[in-house]
Amino acid sequence: MPIKSRIRTIPDYPHEGIMFRDITTLLQDAQGFRKTVDELVQAHAGVRIDKVAGIEARGFILGGAVAHQLSVGFVPIRKKGKLPWDTMGEEYQLEYGTDEVEMHTDAITAGEHILLVDDLIATGGTAEAAIKLMRRAGAEVVGCSFVVDLPDLGGRKLIEAMDVKVLTLCEFEGE
């Protein structure tokens, strides 16, 4: 069964007109979860990856599993104020206002090759901020992997314009 068919769509969540792509149905399906992680890992065979970074919160689940399969460390990228030690942050634009992502200052060593993982790419703002943050720490971001792409929102193009390869496993039209 294809990965896309295991993702639930919830209309009008969190706002009217939004079709929320819920991967929890994929994660609770043992075969679907395994297939997803395998595809995220296999796409990077032969690529040097020192650590996997995951964006809060579903990126922690997927990124942790990918890091485990690759036998590398994991870097959590969280919303501002959620990490308990010294952090560095990167602000990004929201539809109305700004937000910020952070990571620990010692999470990445300059020169490390990092794979960024999250569940979905929409406008790409959070992933863009995460890439800028990791680059400021001296990392080379070797790719971004997402389960879902919403191509109408342009996130993939934004990340590719930063010279970062993007892998997605399925896409949904619209928002």
Catalytic entry in 21, 58, 78, 156:
58
Based on the residue annotation, tell me whether 95 is a catalytic residue of this protein. yes
In angstroms, the CA 27 to CA 109 distance is: 31
Pairing of strands 73-79, 97-104: antiparallel
Based on the residue annotation, tell me whether 58 is a catalytic residue of this protein. yes
**Active site positions, annotated:** 58, 95
